[in-house]
Amino acid sequence: MAVVPQEPILQFEALMEEADEPLKKTFQNVHQGYPQETLTRFLKARDGNVAKAHKMLLDCLKWRVENEIDDILAKPIVPTKIYKDIRDSQLIGLSGYTHEGLPVFAIGVGLSSYNKASDHYYTQSHIQLNEYRDCLILPEATKKHGKHIRKCIKVLDMTGLKLSSLNNIKLVTSISSIDDLNYPELTHTYYIVNAPYIFSACWKAVKPLLQERTRKKIKVLSGCGEEELMKIMDYAALPHFCRKRSSPNSQKTHENCYSLEHSFHQQMYSYMKQQQQSSATLPEREGSVHVTLPEGANEEDIEEVIESQLEQVKDMKVSDSSRA
């Protein structure tokens, strides 16, 4: 639903007035000064149904309180070597901004191995990225452009996607469930680039399982997607994997926004260390933060379909190999 009428928003607002104080407190961190816009996001996520949106938001706030999400940016992953290993195996970074001021997040789906740390570390890192985006990146973009910016663009690079990706499905779908249930309607568009055959096989099966509002946000671009993405952002904001070799600037070395050495990750990690140092109740300690999967998470259907499709592709390859 594109526009949410004012009446259900006011009904939702009245219901939230009855919430417990701890939930109201964490809600302030969620809405960042835009409570009605946040209620609208949850309404859209539940197709305008006030009762369902109310339950979804309460579950989200309870999850935040129980897992101390408000403090997660004061819990940097240490030592730095572990955090560097995570950045090298969970590929995500901020490459720039669109012409409209929306942050552009680059995600290396195909080359993310998730094999250098525990699942708890990867989940913690992902939530920290979400919170940093919501508490710092989006508010700063709003201030800079003089208008409320509450969404981002995600460019998903499928380079390197292969059958072994099957090993990461459970973790990836769990993280996806955390996003769906606690950070709804924060992505304007998902652009998929450099898609190999294996992606096409899985996408054909998974697409019908997605909600229509999600399907409409996903655009599969031809090749590296440079031509299409240049319509909404400058060349400097393009993720490195979207830049053609034939580009006039192809001989220059572009920053890898996945790397811990990139300015985005340097600033974020420094911010978390500062937050930890300023909090007397949160001493620095090694070990990951264990975050529970939100109530209502149900990723099994899509996970099973992807597994089935990957197994079919694997069987096809084995069959072709035996005939050869």
- What is the pLDDT confidence band of residue 249, given thresholds at 50, 70 and 90? very low
DSSP 12-33: HHHHHTTS-HHHHHHHHHHHTT
- Predicted confidence (pLDDT) per residue in 50-67, tens digit: 999 999 999 999 999 999
State how far the Cα of 47 lies from the Cα of 50, in Å rounded to an integer.
9
> Which of the 8 DSSP states describes residue 94?
E
Q: Does the structure show a pLDDT above 80 at 205? A: no
According to the model, what pLDDT value does residue 318 have? Answer: 45
What angle in degrees, to the nearest 10, is found between the helix axes of 35-45 and 50-66? 110
According to the model, what pLDDT value does residue 245 have? Answer: 62
Sign for the pseudo-dihedral over CA of 8, 10, 12, 18: negative
According to the model, what pLDDT value does residue 199 have? Answer: 83
The helix (H) or strand (E) run that includes residue 267 is helix 263-277
Average pLDDT of span 25-33? 96
DSSP 157-223: E-TT--GGGGGGHHHHHHHHHHHHHHSTT-EEEEEEES--HHHHHHHHHHGGGS-HHHHTTEEE-ST
- Predicted confidence (pLDDT) per residue in 276-310, tens digit: 998 766 555 665 666 776 666 555 555 565 556 55
